[in-house]
Amino acid sequence: MRRLLFALGIFASLAVSAQRMGYVDTQALLKRHPMYVQAQAEVERLNNQYHGEVQSLFDDADALRGQLEAERVLLTTGMIAEREKLIVNTLDSAKARQMRYFAPEGTLFAKREELVEPIQSQIAGAIREVARRKKLDFVFDKGSNLAVVYANESLDITNEVLQQLGF
């Protein structure tokens, strides 16, 4: 039984050692890609614009609330109800716009996908090409949440992928 387990262990280690692996840092690739830098700048610009629009609506609602409180003693019950309704409508509009812009299916996410997806596809293609050229069986992403405890720097193909991309 021990001989069988020992033989299986040796066979498994030989099978694993026959596989060639490499790794790449996709975060480093993205940061050096000029189109990605432009895409990030555009997304940041839109984020600031959308945040400003939403914040303006929330500020309007706060101003209306403050005005109502200041004038409450001078207003009739009907006027108070009308102003409270206006405040609620302004808040609802702000929340709806916030969801339209910032939700996972929102405008900002869609724009980020539109701008970044072609860049990610280009990088994936370059990684595939370098992996085929170097005859690698696996390529791990050092920049992802994958836990790499140790990586021999000779297996790092990031610079070769950058060359493949023309950077």
What is residue 140's three-state secondary structure?
strand
How many Cβ atoms sit within 10 Å of the Cβ of residue 145? 5
pLDDT by residue (tens digit) across 25-50?
888 899 999 999 999 999 999 999 99
Contact 83, 68 (CB under 8 A): yes
Q: Given the structure tokens 């050092």, which residue do they identify?
A: 142
Cβ contact 158:41 at 8 Å:
no
Task: Determine the average pLDDT of the residues in 3-14.
Answer: 46
What pLDDT is attached to residue 7?
42
Read off the tokens for 131. 């992996």
77-105 tens-digit pLDDT: 999 999 999 999 999 999 999 999 999 99
Alpha-carbon dihedral 78, 83, 88, 92, rounded to 10 degrees: 130
Q: Is the pLDDT of residue 143 over 50?
A: yes
**Residue 22's pLDDT is what?**
85
Judge whether residue 159 has pLDDT over 60. Answer: yes
pLDDT over 90 percentage in the chain: 56
**Helices H / strands E in the chain, number of each:** 6, 2
